[in-house]
Chain A
Amino acid sequence: MQALLDVYKIRQDFPILNRCLTNGKKLVYLDNAATTQKPKQVIDAICKYYSEYNSNIHRAVYQIADEATEEYEKTRENLRKFINAKYSEEIIFTRNATESLNLIAHSWGRNNIKKGDKIILTEYEHHSNIVPWQMLCNHQGAKINYIDTDYNGYLNIESFLNFLKDKGEYGETKLVSLSHMSNVLGTIYPVKDIIKIAHEKDIPVVLDGAQSVPHLDTDVQDIDCDFLAFSAHKMLGPTGVGILYVKKEILECMPPFITGGDMIKEVHKEYTVFNDLPYRFEGGTPNIADVIGFNTAIEYLKDIGMGNVRKHEKELVKYLYNSIKDIKDIKIYGPPDINNRGGLVSFNLDGIHPHDCATILNDFGVAIRSGHHCAQVLMEKLDIIASSRASVYIYNTKEEIDIFVDALNHVRRIFKV
C-alpha cells in the first residue's frame, strides 16, 4: 500500500522529536490533543519576524510595518481558504479557542440570550464550552440543557429533539453549542445533521473545533455552522493564537468584546465609532509574531493535505486501539468504530490511577495526558475521576505505539495487576 504521507521525512522537520530526555530515552509524544509540536518552518517564521521586520501592524507607514501588516493579513486570508469561509473578515484572531468562545458569549450572548431562554450543550463538552455559557445564563437568567451522551460516546438525538420541542417553564432554545470532536472520547459527531435540525428552527449553532479543525478537512459553508472556535497550537502553530469564525451577517450585528486601541475608527469624549470587520473585534496589539508563524503551519498542513492527515491518524489509532483493547482490566472510552473516532484513545487500567500510569510511562519517554481533561461533566457521567489519553498526529509512528504499549504493560507489572 502506498504511504499516505512520508512520516519519516515529516519527523525531520520537528527538532523536538530528536530530543533525548534526562534518562536517555527518546521522546515519544502522544499528547497531541493538548498541543502539537512545531515544525522548524514555523519556528523559523517567528524568528524571521523578530529578526527582520518586527513592528506594530495596521498603523505605521514605514516599510517594515507594511511587511508585518501584510504577513499578518496573509494568515487571515489563508485561514479563510483553509476552512472555506466566504469572506476573510469573518475570521477574528483571539488568544485561544477559550477566548473565542468567551467572545461569543459576551458579545452575541448578552444581546441575544434573554431571561427564560435556553441554551443546548452536550455532556461531553470541554469546560471552555460550558463555563462561558453558565456565566452568561447566570447573568441573564437563562438555562442550559445538556444532550445525553452514552458510554460509547454517541449523542442521544432524541434528547436533543426533546429539548428543542420543550418550552416548559423556560422559553425557547436560542443557541446550540457543541464540539465537533470530543477531547476525551474521541468521537467525531454528526454536527452537520445537528446544525441542520437547529437551523430548521432558526437556532444558530456554535461549533467548538479545537479538536476537529487540526485533524479533519473543515468547510464552514458546507457544515453551515454560525460560529467556529479553534486554536493554532493544536495544529502545528504557536501558542497564543485562537481563531473565531462568525458568519458575516451575524458578526455585523455583534458589539465589540475587548475595546480600546486598533478596534476604533474615531474616539470622541462622548462616543466612539468602531472599526470595520474584523478589526472591531481585535482590540489592542495582537499576537503578531505567532499569527504570522501560524500561516506557515497552515501551509505545512495544506501541503500534506487534510485528507492524508486524517488517513494517517485513522491508521495509527486503529493500530493503537487494537494493540491495547485486549489488555486485562483495561477500560477504553469512546466509539469502538474507528470511522467515528478521531486520533485519540482514552482508557483506564483497573486499580491504577491515570496519574500513576502516566508517571511510569514517562520513564519510557512516553508523554500522555492523564486527568479529567477539562471535562468534569463527562467524567461524572462516566463515573470516573480521571482517565489516561494517548493522542496522535502527523509525525507519530507505529513504532512509537509499540513503545507505548510495552510501557503500559510495564505499568501493570509494577502495580502487579
Chain B
Amino acid sequence: MSEDIYREMILDHYRNPRNKGKIEEPDVRIHDSNPLCGDEISIDLKVENDTIKDIKFDGRGCAISQASASMLTEMVSNKPLTTIKDITKNDILENIGLTTLGPARIKCALLSLKVLKIGMVKYYADKDPHSAEKLKEESKVF
C-alpha cells in the first residue's frame, strides 16, 4: 500500500532535501533523466584523495526519485569514491525502506544511483581510461 511508500521519511526528504544544489567548479557533474516519468537528477562531486569531499544533487521529479537522491548523498558523503561501485540496487531500496516497488517506480528510486555511478566512472575516465573501463564493468551501470 502506498501509505507504506509515502512514509514520513520519504516525504521529509522530498520536502527538505539534503545536499540539494550545485557545487561551484565541481570535479564531476553528471545529469540524467528517466524518460518514463520525466524525473531529472544531476549530481556534482568534489573529490579529494579519492574521497567524496562534497556532493550536491539537483533535480525535479516525484517524491521517490528526489527523496532517494537526497538519501544517497548522505550515504556516500565523505566516503571513498570507489565505494560507489559496490552500492547495489538493494542497498538503495533498503536505505529508503522500499523493497517492494514495482518495475515502473523502481526506476525512480534508482535514477540517482545510476547518475552517481556514471559520475564515478567519468571522474576516473580522464585519468586512467583503462581502470575506468574496469570500474564501469564492476559497478554494473545499468
A355-B37 in contact (CB<8A)? yes
**Nearest CB of chain A from residue B59's CB, rounded to whole Å:** 10
B38-A379 in contact (CB<8A)? yes
A415-B11 in contact (CB<8A)? yes
**Nearest CB of chain B from residue A412's CB, rounded to whole Å:** 12
Judge if B5 is at the interface, Cβ distance under 8 Å. yes
Cα distance A264–B1 in the bound complex, in angstroms: 56
**Nearest CB of chain A from residue B61's CB, rounded to whole Å:** 6
Most chain A beta-carbon neighbours within 10 Å: one of B1, B2, B63, B108: B2
Q: Could you say which of A29-37, A156-164, A180-188, A358-366 contacts chain B?
A: A358-366
B2-A370 in contact (CB<8A)? no
A371-B36 in contact (CB<8A)? yes
For A415, the chain B residues whose CB sits under 8 A away are 6, 11
Cα distance A298–B36 in the bound complex, in angstroms: 32
Judge if A339 is at the interface, Cβ distance under 8 Å. no
* A370 in contact with B37 given A353-B63, A355-B108 (CB within 8 Å): yes
B62-A355 in contact (CB<8A)? yes
B37-A371 in contact (CB<8A)? yes
**Nearest CB of chain B from residue A21's CB, rounded to whole Å:** 12
Per-residue interface assignment for chain A, residues 378 to 393, with 1 indicating a CB less than 8 Å from any chain B CB and 0 otherwise: 0100000110000000
**Nearest CB of chain B from residue A294's CB, rounded to whole Å:** 28
A353-B3 in contact (CB<8A)? no
Judge if B60 is at the interface, Cβ distance under 8 Å. yes
B1-A385 in contact (CB<8A)? no
The B-contacting residues of A in range 43-73, CB under 8 angstroms, are none
A23-B38 in contact (CB<8A)? no
One of A360, A376, A385 near B6 (C-beta < 8 A): A360
B5-A359 in contact (CB<8A)? yes
Judge if A414 is at the interface, Cβ distance under 8 Å. yes
For A359, the chain B residues whose CB sits under 8 A away are 2, 5, 105
Give the interface size class of chain A.
20 to 34
B63-A356 in contact (CB<8A)? yes
Cα distance A231–B21 in the bound complex, in angstroms: 44
* A360 in contact with B2 given A355-B37, A370-B37, A371-B37 (CB within 8 Å): yes
* A362 in contact with B38 given A353-B63, A356-B64, A385-B61 (CB within 8 Å): no
For B6, the chain A residues whose CB sits under 8 A away are 356, 360, 414-415
A362-B63 in contact (CB<8A)? no
B40-A385 in contact (CB<8A)? yes
Per-residue interface assignment for chain A, residues 321 to 364, with 1 indicating a CB less than 8 Å from any chain B CB and 0 otherwise: 00000000000000000000000000000001111100110110
A414-B3 in contact (CB<8A)? yes
Judge if A372 is at the interface, Cβ distance under 8 Å. yes
A414-B38 in contact (CB<8A)? no
Cα distance A379–B6 in the bound complex, in angstroms: 26
Cα distance A370–B36 in the bound complex, in angstroms: 9
A363-B2 in contact (CB<8A)? yes
**Nearest CB of chain A from residue B46's CB, rounded to whole Å:** 28
For A386, the chain B residues whose CB sits under 8 A away are 37-38
Cα distance A376–B40 in the bound complex, in angstroms: 14
Cα distance A165–B46 in the bound complex, in angstroms: 54
For B3, the chain A residues whose CB sits under 8 A away are 363, 414
Nearest residue in A to B101 (C-beta to C-beta)?
A359
Nearest residue in B to A355 (C-beta to C-beta)?
B62
For A379, the chain B residues whose CB sits under 8 A away are 38
Cα distance A359–B6 in the bound complex, in angstroms: 10
Cα distance A352–B11 in the bound complex, in angstroms: 10
Nearest residue in A to B5 (C-beta to C-beta)?
A359
B1-A355 in contact (CB<8A)? no
One of B1, B5, B62 near A353 (C-beta < 8 A): B62
Cα distance A415–B8 in the bound complex, in angstroms: 10
Cα distance A292–B34 in the bound complex, in angstroms: 37
Cα distance A360–B1 in the bound complex, in angstroms: 8
For B62, the chain A residues whose CB sits under 8 A away are 353-356
B40-A23 in contact (CB<8A)? no
Per-residue interface assignment for chain B, residues 25 to 64, with 1 indicating a CB less than 8 Å from any chain A CB and 0 otherwise: 0000000000011111000000000000000000011111
Q: List 21 A-B contacts (CB under 8 A).
A: A353-B37, A353-B61, A353-B63, A355-B61, A355-B64, A355-B108, A356-B62, A356-B63, A356-B64, A360-B6, A363-B1, A363-B2, A370-B37, A371-B38, A376-B38, A379-B38, A385-B38, A385-B40, A385-B61, A386-B37, A386-B38
Q: What is A's interface to B at a CB cutoff of 8 Å?
A: 23, 352-356, 359-360, 362-363, 370-372, 376, 379, 385-386, 414-416
Closest 5 A/B residue pairs (Cβ): A353-B62, A355-B62, A385-B38, A360-B2, A355-B37
